[in-house]
Amino acid sequence: MQYFNLHTHSYSNQSDVIELVNQYPQEFNDEIPNYSIGIHPWFIVEDRIESDLAIIESKLKEKNCLAVGECGLDKRIEIPVQLQQAVFERQLLLAEQYQKPVVIHCVAAFQELIAIKKRLKISVPFLIHGFSKNESVAKELVANGCCISFGKYLLRMPQLESVFCAMPNDRFFLETDTDEQTIQEVYDLAAQYKGLSVAQMQEIVNTNFNTIFATHLTNNQINL
């Protein structure tokens, strides 16, 4: 059984790991087998927005592009939130048009995120990556149709154990992001927290993967 890494910035090319590799429009590597592509709020360049969005749209037509992102909102950076929101909304509309899930970076803006999802009537899955908040935030996100991905903070913040254990099994993913720890280490701890074997944890995540991504795969792509 394979591991699925929802979000990583480094392609490891391991035979037992399927990775959704984060790509940027201006730094695209066509050798990556499965990827997401988006404009991260940290890297918005105003005079490049239209060209970046054009690249994203062109890649969304490709079979190996499984999701939009990472994109989202971050209220702790200097880029104006209004600009971030405009760029985020453009990407959400593309995701809706091409029926792709969205890998989301969200910092101190979860209420805004939910409000945008409702206002734009976005039906594609929201995948909140790198979660590090409390159980109340997690429950609100799940109640509003989001899935949550855990990774480096699960390894570093013992207080996330209770948050992770309270997650419904059909609404979470695991990831490494930019961390040096392996996806196997994340699965080991996640399985320990849930009182499961690693194989059982793989089965849960693989089922979630197939639920979220199955409609975006062709016969010669992933089959977890």
Mean pLDDT over 215-221 rounds to 43
23 within a domain of the structure (yes/no): yes
> How sure is the predictor about 219, in pLDDT bands with cuts at 50, 70 and 90?
very low
pLDDT mean over 96-111: 98
Q: Is 27 contained in some domain?
A: yes
Please indicate, yes or no, if residue 221 is contained in any of the structural domains: no
**Mean pLDDT for all residues in the chain:** 95
Q: Report how far residue 46's alpha carbon sits from residue 33's, in angstroms, rounded to the nearest whole number.
A: 29
DSSP sequence for 5-50: EEEESS----TTEEEEEEE-GGG--TT-SSEEE---GGG--GGGHH
Residue 94 falls inside a structural domain:
yes
Backbone angles phi, psi at 165, to 5 degrees: -65, -30
Residue pointed to by tokens 């159980």:
135
Report yes or no on 188 lying in a domain: yes
Closest CA relative to residue 40, chosen from 116, 130, 134 = 130
Distance in angstroms (rounded) separating the CA atoms of residues 141 and 147: 7
Residue 19 has what pLDDT? 97
pLDDT at 179: 83
Q: For residue 223, tell me if it sits in a domain.
A: no
Four-point Cα dihedral 118, 124, 128, 134, nearest 10:
50
Residue 63, domain member (yes or no): yes
Give the pLDDT mean for 179-184: 92
**What does the alpha-carbon distance between residue 92 and residue 98 come to, in Å, rounded to a whole number?**
10
Domain count, the chain: 1
Residue 205 belongs to a domain with what CATH number? 3.20.20.140
Asked if residue 31 belongs to a domain, the reply is yes
CA distances from 50 to 35, 87, 97, 149 (A): 21, 10, 17, 29
Residue 73 has phi, psi (to 5 degrees) of -135, 140
The identity of residue 126, as a single letter, is F
Contacts of 35 (CB under 8 A, 6+ apart): 20, 21, 22, 23, 64, 65, 66
pLDDT in tens, 28-79: 999 999 999 999 999 999 999 999 999 999 999 999 999 999 999 999 999 9
Domain that holds residue 113: 3-216
Is the pLDDT confidence value at 171 over 80?
yes
Q: Is the pLDDT of residue 223 over 70?
A: no
Say whether pLDDT at 220 is over 50. Answer: no
Residue 215 confidence (pLDDT) above 70 = no
* pLDDT confidence band for 218 (50 / 70 / 90): very low
Q: What is the pLDDT of residue 224?
A: 55
Choice among 3-12, 39-48, 207-216 with the minimum mean pLDDT: 207-216
DSSP 4: E
How large a percentage of the chain has pLDDT more than 70? Answer: 96
What is the CA angle 107-80-99, rounded to 5? 60
